Homo-oligomer: A and B are copies of this chain.
Amino acid sequence: MKLHERKTIAIDMDGVMADVEPQLIKYYEQLYGITTTLEAINGLSHAEAFPLDAATKASLNLPGFFRTLPVMPGAVEAVKKLMEDYEVYIVSAATEFPLSLFEKLEWLQEYFPFIGWRNIVLCGDKSIIHTDYMIDDHCKNLDYCSGKAIMFNAHHNKHEHQHVRVHNWDEVLNLFETEKSAADLV
């Protein structure tokens, strides 16, 4: 049996709804005294960009890291707009960082209070998530999604070309406008 009459979208948090890269740079500097820039980490994986943090992921385990992330420009309005036509689920890889769970709920409650608890999924890998669309910045999630994969641009995914790429939330909305027009033609 199918619950949803509307098509479903899974939307990632870090790197998509939340602007995680400036925060990683800030915490890396605080923890290790090493300053880097968005330009310097362009095209690098997390481990390559932040080598001293690669083994322990200490910065991601610090209280407050996820709670104080800035919102990605345009995300609030765009998610609200998508919810008019789609069933939107927030699907965030979070169980690797136990402290992030509560912080992510609080963060959503602050910036996206119109998203209810029923539509929030905090998980490990995303391989059993089944939606019509998935917006994410990581191939490890998009490669195995059963629906249409949409890659949100990030410095770490510059060299990945197997998925449709969007650079910002305006482009997300344009893409879904096109999807809607195509569906109307059928």
Contact = CB atoms under 8 A, between A and B. Distances in A.
Interface string A142-153: 011010000000
A147 to B, nearest CB: 10
A3 B125 CA distance: 10
B95 A120 contact: yes
A101 interface: yes
A89 interface: yes
Contact of A89 (B116, B117, B128, B144): B128
A10 B128 contact: yes
Nearest to A117: B95
Size class of the contact patch on chain A: 35 or more
A123 B124 contact: no
Contacts of A8: 128
State the copy count for this chain.
Answer: 2
A125 B129 contact: no
A37 interface: no
A143 B1 contact: yes
Interface string A93-114: 0111011011001100000000
26 contacts: A1-B144, A3-B125, A4-B127, A8-B128, A10-B128, A89-B128, A91-B128, A95-B105, A95-B118, A98-B102, A98-B105, A98-B106, A99-B102, A101-B101, A102-B102, A116-B124, A117-B124, A118-B124, A120-B123, A121-B122, A121-B123, A122-B123, A128-B130, A128-B131, A129-B129, A130-B146
